[in-house]
Amino acid sequence: MERFAVIMAGGSGERFWPASRQARPKQLLRLTDERRSMLEEAIDRIAPLIPPENVIVATSEILAGPIAEAVPRLPRENVVAEPAKRNTAACLALAAAHLARRVGPGGDAAMAVLTADHRITDPERFRATVAAALDFAEGHDALVTIGVVPTRPETGYGYIEVAAAPGADGERPRVLPVARFLEKPDLETARRLAASGRHFWNSGMFFWRVSRFREGLGRHMSDLAHATTAMEVALAEPGAPRLPAIFAGLADVSIDVGLMERAGNVHVIPANFAWDDVGAWDALARTRTPDAQGNVADEGTVLVDARNCIVYDATGGAMAVAVVGLEDAIVAVTKDGVLVCRRDRAQDVKRAVAALRERSGERFT
């Protein structure tokens, strides 16, 4: 069975403002690698298992051009633009419609759903886990996900619960039935879940056969299942003129809530590789090497009596950046924006972006 990867790369990354903007979001920034954008990292990471010609990047219409330009080795037709802003369920239904068109009537394909904003430092183990997930999905009536063993009581992630704590099973990743999904918890609950041995962080990576995915939609999201068929038909028409109207009518719901939390045939493979969801500025403290004072700073910035600070200079030295006497702070500088906030308020950068949009429109966002 032919295998495809669908990399979701449509978000604007507002928590990384001012570096991340609508036309150049975090997936096109070099946040965790000096040479490659996060999207390039994601493509390179899966390439030995799934070649670029079978990698689909699902993004927004405004980003389709910049992504095609930034990753020229990706076939242009593999950059799929969503006609409207929806959620992950609609995004993956559109991707499934594209893959159904590729394999043709009566055909099937294995689909690995990945994202462009993860930091994974052991690509060989990652690919082994993905291969095991695809093997299981190809051989069973199952929807498969990867769960990450918690390393801290994280309140910003959803959790996956299994019926019993997994035991060791040699080198091959184990596949476990999922008991339930849990939404982002409060801190006390997160501490309990992280220590239970039966809960994993929801990585947001999924694996299935396209046929099984569509069957799942038919059982639990029937409107989206019908729309997937309609989009497949629309894609066969020159220019796909009916596609935008079909897509615009889809519900704004995540695949987790719409399908994964409802389906009874969901399995999880525990990750045996280091993983981080690079969702906000504070993630850089976990993905970059700090100095003796705990600071993570770009070369050329000046720090005086600063501790545990994150300093990001996107001007390439065109602006002098100095931080004096601050602790546990984030300072991010671009040619037309400056952010200063406490590290424990990194998730609230979105509030600043919303306020800027209300005051100045899209000029600075």
Domain span at residue 349? Answer: 281-360
What is the identity of the amino acid at 276? D
Q: 200 and 53, same structural domain?
A: yes
- State the amino acid at position 13 in one-letter form: G
Paired tokens of 294 = 């705990």
Together in a domain, 111 and 125: yes
Q: What's the pTM value of the predicted model, to 2 decimals?
A: 0.90
Same domain for 308 and 203: no
Same domain, 325 and 194: no
Task: Locate 115 and state its tokens.
Answer: 């994202």
User: Do 259 and 321 belong together in one domain?
Assistant: no
Q: Which of these three, 277, 300, 334, is where a domain ends?
A: 277
Given 245, 277, 309, the domain boundary residue is 277
What CATH number should be reported for the domain holding residue 212? 3.90.550.10
CA distance 266 to 261: 9
Tally the domains of the chain: 2
Q: Determine how many CB atoms are found less than 10 A away from the CB of residue 113.
A: 24
- Chain centre to alpha carbon of residue 266: 19
Give the closest residue to 285 by CA, choosing from 111, 159, 152: 152
Structural domain ending residue among the three candidates 277, 305, 327: 277
Q: Are 204 and 220 in contact (CB under 8 A)?
A: no
Do 194 and 300 share a structural domain?
Answer: no
Check whether residue 143 and residue 197 sit in a common domain: yes
Query: Which secondary structure element, helix H or strand E, spans residue 142, and what is its range?
Result: none
pLDDT in tens, the chain (365 residues): 999 999 999 877 899 999 998 888 899 999 988 889 999 999 999 999 999 999 999 999 999 999 999 999 999 999 999 999 999 999 999 999 999 999 998 889 999 999 999 999 899 999 999 999 999 999 999 999 999 999 999 988 999 999 877 765 544 568 999 999 999 999 999 999 999 999 999 999 999 999 999 999 999 999 999 999 999 999 999 999 999 999 999 999 999 999 999 999 999 999 989 999 998 999 999 889 999 999 999 888 999 999 999 999 999 888 899 999 999 999 999 999 999 999 999 999 999 999 999 998 888 88
Domain shared by 230 and 348, yes or no: no
**Phi-psi sector, 282: left (phi>0), alpha (psi -120 to 50), beta:** alpha
Any long-range contacts for 98-102 (C-beta under 8 Å, 24+ apart)? 98/56, 98/235, 99/4, 99/6, 99/56, 99/210, 100/210, 100/214, 100/228, 100/232, 101/232, 101/235, 101/236, 102/4
